[in-house]
Amino acid sequence: MAARKRIAIENSVNNTPQSPTKQAPGRKLRIALFSGNYNYVVDGPVKALNTLVGFLEEEGHEVLVFAPTVKKPAFEHTGTLISAPSIAVPGRGEYRLALGMSGGIRKKLDTFKPDLIHLSAPDLLGYAALRYARKKAIPAVASFHTRFDTYPRYYGAKWLEKYLTNYMRHFYARCEHVYPPSQSMADELREDGIGHDIRLWARGVDSVLFNPDKRDLAWRRSLGFSDDDTVVVFVGRLVLEKGIDVFVETVSRVDGVKALIVGEGPERERFEKAMPDAHFTGYLKGEELARAYASADIFFNPSITETFGNVTLEAMACATTPLCAKAAGSTSLVEHEVTGLLANPTSRDFQPALERLKLDPNCRVALGMSARKRSLDFSWRVILLNLLGNYLEAVEAYDTAVSDT
């Protein structure tokens, strides 16, 4: 059993861009969380799930997490993690594909007797957990983290997309609630017929850690940047679906900007060859990550696969002006011409926006400060209390429906 790590939750009760906080009754829940990744690769969904588990345990609820594991995880996870059978994903060996639910997991679930099952991926493990929930008359909810159905277009298999979308409709239709992280993603799911009761589970940001005061010109100079350089930062997994090809094409077309790349992934070598003058830091976290955001001048996120954009929110908290794709996720965080700039996700459309931000530092600073102000609306505690309220509604509604049949 993994040692529990305490997560600090902000005490702020700032207004958040979602419904007013629900008052959670005193009932304590037993929650089984199923995930395709919980600690072996660091990404936005994993950070959110670990924060959620820490919060639930601090509120007195019991949680068991079921997910694939590796011998050397990327970080110390929160809560109790039970290993699920898995294999390496072909061509993407850093990720694991859960193979379903073993007999041992079923026995643990039978003993645990969960009040609620939370699914975070529509994979084989998630589907098996969904079937278990229906067989045992347990409500199942799902958080929506990634448009997995769009991934084939980056790997020469766009024909698969419609089949994956149909599967996702089938999967999420069987969940009591579906929790996307942004209003723009919620609207997209409704338009595509994915899920029937769609409710927001936004993300928070540590505005003390991520703030403009972390700007460090001496650190910038140590990387080879001058004080007058316009530094454009990319933060995230170095994979094709993050739009790195568009990043390369756009930055290469704009004279006088320098690239700072923060992150690791299977495309790093190709990325480095395409941008030999860029500085690659590798994976950063905590104070080092905050310093990287704040020490850049522009945050450029060309991805159209984001369902929220944790990195965008962190950059905004550092008052680093965001330039993002006009796509779900980013459009719920960045208001065009107010807290940053949005553009269609092509280098042809991004180029004039990046040139504008480079040539007009006053505009850049004004947008950055507005972005910082906007980021303060995203309080983790308020957001997680809302999610807990949704959990309780799902359990109580399901109990009522079962008793009426």
The H or E element containing residue 230 is strand 230-235
Token pair 């990287």 in the structure block, residue: 292
Is pTM beyond 0.85 here? no
Please state, in angstroms and rounded to a whole number, the distance separating the CA atoms of residues 142 and 144: 6
Q: Read off the tokens for 264.
A: 């690791």
Please state, in angstroms and rounded to a whole number, the distance separating the CA atoms of residues 36 and 86: 9
Token pair 């994903």 in the structure block, residue: 89
Sign of CA dihedral 215, 218, 224, 229: positive
Residue 22: pLDDT over 70: no
Per the document, the length of the chain is: 405
**What's the confidence (pLDDT) of residue 154?**
67
What whole-number percentage of the chain has pLDDT above 90?
74
DSSP state of 338: T
**What's the confidence (pLDDT) of residue 160?**
77
Sign of CA dihedral 382, 386, 391, 395: positive
Q: Tell me the one-letter amino acid at 70.
A: V
Beta strand spans in 90-216 (E): 92-98, 116-119, 140-143, 178-179
Write the CB contacts of 166 (distance below 8 Å, at least 6 apart in sequence).
Answer: none
Strands 279-282 and 298-301: unpaired
**Domain 212-375, second-level architecture:** 3-Layer(aba) Sandwich (3.40)
Please state, in angstroms and rounded to a whole number, the distance separating the CA atoms of residues 154 and 269: 17
Residue 11: pLDDT over 60: no
The H or E element containing residue 86 is strand 86-89
The answer to whether residues 340 and 316 touch, using CB atoms and an 8 Å cutoff, is yes
Q: What is the pLDDT of residues 338-395, one digit of tens each?
A: 999 999 999 999 999 999 999 999 999 999 999 999 999 998 999 999 999 999 999 9
Most confident of 41-50, 90-99, 106-115, 325-334: 106-115
Report the Cα–Cα distance between both ends of the chain, in Å, rounded: 39
Residue 96: pLDDT over 70: yes
Please state, in angstroms and rounded to a whole number, the distance separating the CA atoms of residues 244 and 125: 30
What whole-number percentage of the chain has pLDDT above 70?
90
For the chain, residues classed under CATH 3.40.50.2000 are 30-204+379-404, 212-375
Write the CB contacts of 161 (distance below 8 Å, at least 6 apart in sequence).
Answer: 149, 150, 152, 153
Please state, in angstroms and rounded to a whole number, the distance separating the CA atoms of residues 268 and 261: 10
Per-residue pLDDT, averaged over 304-320, amounts to 91
**What's the confidence (pLDDT) of residue 18?**
47
Please state, in angstroms and rounded to a whole number, the distance separating the CA atoms of residues 383 and 385: 6
What proportions of the chain, in percent to the nearest 5, are helix, strand and coil?
45, 15, 40
Per-residue pLDDT, averaged over 59-82, amounts to 95
Residue 17: pLDDT over 90: no
Burial code (b: 16+ CB inside 10 Å, e: under 16) for 284-307 equals: beeeebbbbbbbbbbbbbbbbbbb
Fold for 30-204+379-404, please state it: Rossmann fold (3.40.50)
**What's the confidence (pLDDT) of residue 399?**
78
**Between these two residues, 133 and 331, which has the higher pLDDT value?**
133
In this prediction, residue 14 has a pLDDT band, given cuts at 50, 70 and 90, of very low
**Between these two residues, 73 and 403, which has the higher pLDDT value?**
73
Token pair 């298999």 in the structure block, residue: 157
Please state, in angstroms and rounded to a whole number, the distance separating the CA atoms of residues 375 and 262: 21
- Give the mean pLDDT of the chain: 89
Q: What is the pLDDT of residues 219-246, one digit of tens each?
A: 999 999 999 999 999 999 899 989 999 9
